[in-house]
Structure 1
């Protein structure tokens, strides 16, 4: 297919699309078109005239004068012969024209046209949509002036087509705008934020439901911006100073041409009381960039301010509580020192006197030496209890000073401290050759390990050899023994102060595990108790190395 043929096909497609876009065949002809056709017949001084439209298949006589309207195929149309040329056609005798003499409108099949003239109907886009035709059943001739007048009438017809199309498009556009306005109003009325728009003169042009509901019915919602702060009771954040007219977010947006974001205001309404609001305003601009108005959205932030006040008050109470906690910890440290001096020292003196009494000659038949031994044992128990209490106080109040802690070195020190108890119990402690480096306070971690390993030795099963296995991960330590174990229902309770498992023959104060829990929690970690396969207790301690808020 040649290029010219392809271009011709494309032009024809464009022509037919534009013809259909006029929707001329969808409605009856207007009286103006009938008048134009009558004038055309009078100008040509012939009895018949017609207004023809041609699509890709047919010719339609939109209106006629002097003969009845009749549709025909495009191939049979006289107007279609030179339609693509878009020129005025003037045939004094169509029977003498080679490309017309065999046409059905000439031969008598559809008509007996002899004289024929047509002015093309050319759209502003340059497409020929049809023709304004005049004809007779006998030869005729048009003067130059007649041809010009018929061409003018064809232009009038096209102008009418344009007017009708523009009216239809305008109506459609109006419907679209009305639908969009209704959609916009529906959306704006469905939200709980107040939205107000003003025109270039500052007069209110749109108010949504939320904006209407926050004002009493007697408030004028259509007035301008002058005096709007007093009319709508808009105040500065202090709740006492009316907003100046020039400082209203809408007026600022219109004056500067820039958005106003996060403007804090106080709104006093007889309907909703005093409310804190945040206003965001933006200018409305034309296609040329001129400010034609502004719109503001008002968000009620009263609840947000209340939450913020509650949070600030809670922070204040928390700060006070932390200060009191620090004071209590300081008092506890002072108390621990006082206990160390005021209780331990006298106990040491009592123990010394008891030793002196034990060196004296026993009285015959007396029970003095028995009483001395009992008193000495009570002193030892009291001293152990005081040491345990002091350890518990230190575990909860001493500052957590984290740093890398080589677990192997720390365990060596702990096992050395417990060597006497371990040997006496005949216990075997298994420690891996390689242990990780933890992050934490070495003093507190040492106290924790000493308590846990000491418990494993103390609460051993007398029916078998004591076995203690120690292992560790990057931030955890596991200590498993084959001792007497802890019943499942008591494994949480044993972390409480002064709690011991009933029926155990082993002496203790029920403070050691409480201290271990405090140490783990102050490192941001946990401590859990489980059962060792085959019997016994397995304690797992995690030490992430991140002190808790109470560390």
Structure 2
């Protein structure tokens, strides 16, 4: 084998960690079965690197490590395919090998089946042998091939299980880091909102006092300027509250059964002003598992948007429905409003994005909805409604 081929074999062996770590215990059972089927006293799984032979499972003798150049199975791998030798002392390929001629053993009968990885690398052999000459029949040869394939299956399963465990550990670390990040974000947002509220409240109070003085003095131009400033402080206060709500999402959830059929009427009552004149229809709504307060906020935001973005001069038409979808529930809030361009359907979930600058709101609402839904393991999106309008949908998994 070339140096490059040996290097790639070493890499394949390393990926199974069969030399560096304790081998899978299932290998011992296969080796014992191989000795039993062939009616020989000794069998082993040999893993052959560029420099050494490692007997990682054995029956009938104590497993050990030897140099590659002393290995009978290294010779067999260079030959390729299954090798069966009735008497190695009479075979010119093996008779001078130290495992045959005496220094390391007195092998006579010898058979080896290569262990081929799915990528075609021969990483070792399933080897059976005896100190007495003997033969193998065709059934025993077939069984030897089958058991070698099963050894590779065991190694593949062990490798994939190890990779899966590593991935799970990384996911756990990422989850813990995300929890810490959310906690820091919530704490930071809380501190910032507190630091902003105090001076903003002072400004608002000063503006109210100034407005009263101007009203008493009847200065219309000044009162108009103060009124605009007061509206600006109110918008700023709303933005601070929205940012704080956005930052707090993603922490611990209080999971319980949430009966949407009971929650939605409460939401409609809270939005009575915004829904004045609207035509709202309710379909069947499921019971889902989640944080009632946060899910209620999501639906309230979606219904409020449906009421807000209507066609000029027309009342809102809103349909709120739920249906089974895979291993979860899909809840839809559909309107007959202006609709949304497909290119904007994803962008509106980014913080501070507002498609209509003239509309009320901070551009935080849908971003917060997405954080809430994702914290519940779900998905959220917007899509055109057949006949005009928009469908805002939320998918939530079963508990």
Taking the aligned partners of 1:223 and 1:282, their CA distance within structure 2 comes to 11
Quote the residue 1:427 is aligned against.
278
Using CA pairs below 8 Å that are at least 6 residues apart, which structure has the higher relative contact order?
Answer: 2
> Structure 1 residue runs of 4+, over 6 Å off?
192-196, 275-287, 295-313
Quote the residue 1:485 is aligned against.
339
Decide whether the 8 Å contact of 1:281 with 1:297 is kept in 2. no
1:321–1:279: structure 2 CA closer, same or farther, 3 Å change rule?
farther
1:227–1:500: structure 2 CA closer, same or farther, 3 Å change rule?
farther
Quote the residue 2:368 is aligned against.
515
How far has the Cα of 1:343 moved from its partner? 2.2
Decide whether the 8 Å contact of 1:529 with 1:540 is kept in 2. yes
1:536 pairs with 389, 392, 395, which one?
389
CA deviations on 1:83-113 (whole Å, 9 max, x unpaired) are: xxxxxxxxxxxxxxxxxxxxxxxxxxxxxxx
1:223 pairs with 82, 95, 99, which one?
99
Taking the aligned partners of 1:337 and 1:421, their CA distance within structure 2 comes to 29
How far has the Cα of 1:360 moved from its partner? 1.2
CA deviations on 1:333-389 (whole Å, 9 max, x unpaired) are: 212322342223443343233222211145566743222112111111111111221
CA deviations on 1:448-492 (whole Å, 9 max, x unpaired) are: 101100111111212312111111124121111111111122112
Quote the residue 2:227 is aligned against.
373
Quote the residue 1:331 is aligned against.
184
Taking the aligned partners of 1:220 and 1:444, their CA distance within structure 2 comes to 79
- Number of residue pairs matched by the alignment: 296
Please provide the CA RMSD for this pair.
4.7
Decide whether the 8 Å contact of 1:527 with 1:540 is kept in 2. yes
Quote the residue 1:236 is aligned against.
none
1:526 pairs with 376, 379, 383, which one?
379
1:446 pairs with 293, 296, 320, which one?
296
Taking the aligned partners of 2:201 and 2:294, their CA distance within structure 1 comes to 26
Decide whether the 8 Å contact of 2:352 with 2:362 is kept in 1. yes
Taking the aligned partners of 1:498 and 1:383, their CA distance within structure 2 comes to 15
Quote the residue 1:406 is aligned against.
259
Taking the aligned partners of 2:339 and 2:348, their CA distance within structure 1 comes to 12
Taking the aligned partners of 2:130 and 2:263, their CA distance within structure 1 comes to 70
CA deviations on 1:133-179 (whole Å, 9 max, x unpaired) are: xxxxxxxxxxxxxxxxxxxxxxxxxxxxxxxxxxxxxxxxxxxxxxx
Decide whether the 8 Å contact of 1:332 with 1:393 is kept in 2. yes
1:524–1:315: structure 2 CA closer, same or farther, 3 Å change rule?
closer
1:317–1:220: structure 2 CA closer, same or farther, 3 Å change rule?
farther
Unaligned ranges ≥5, structure 2: 1-45, 63-69, 81-92, 108-120, 136-143
2:349 pairs with 495, 505, 509, which one?
495
Taking the aligned partners of 1:505 and 1:382, their CA distance within structure 2 comes to 16
TM-score by length of 2: 0.60
Taking the aligned partners of 1:207 and 1:521, their CA distance within structure 2 comes to 55
Taking the aligned partners of 2:95 and 2:366, their CA distance within structure 1 comes to 71
Taking the aligned partners of 1:542 and 1:330, their CA distance within structure 2 comes to 26
Decide whether the 8 Å contact of 1:193 with 1:211 is kept in 2. no
Secondary structure, in 3 states, of the residue corresponding to 2:257?
Answer: strand
1:460–1:319: structure 2 CA closer, same or farther, 3 Å change rule?
same
Quote the residue 1:154 is aligned against.
none
How far has the Cα of 1:318 moved from its partner? 4.4
Taking the aligned partners of 2:298 and 2:125, their CA distance within structure 1 comes to 55
How far has the Cα of 1:276 moved from its partner? 9.3
1:335–1:276: structure 2 CA closer, same or farther, 3 Å change rule?
farther
Decide whether the 8 Å contact of 1:428 with 1:468 is kept in 2. yes
CA deviations on 1:408-443 (whole Å, 9 max, x unpaired) are: 1111221222122222xx2222224x5321222212
Unaligned ranges ≥5, structure 1: 1-191, 232-249, 251-271, 288-294, 547-551
Give the alignment of 1:279-294 within 5 angstroms.
none
Decide whether the 8 Å contact of 2:350 with 2:367 is kept in 1. yes
How far has the Cα of 1:506 moved from its partner? 1.3
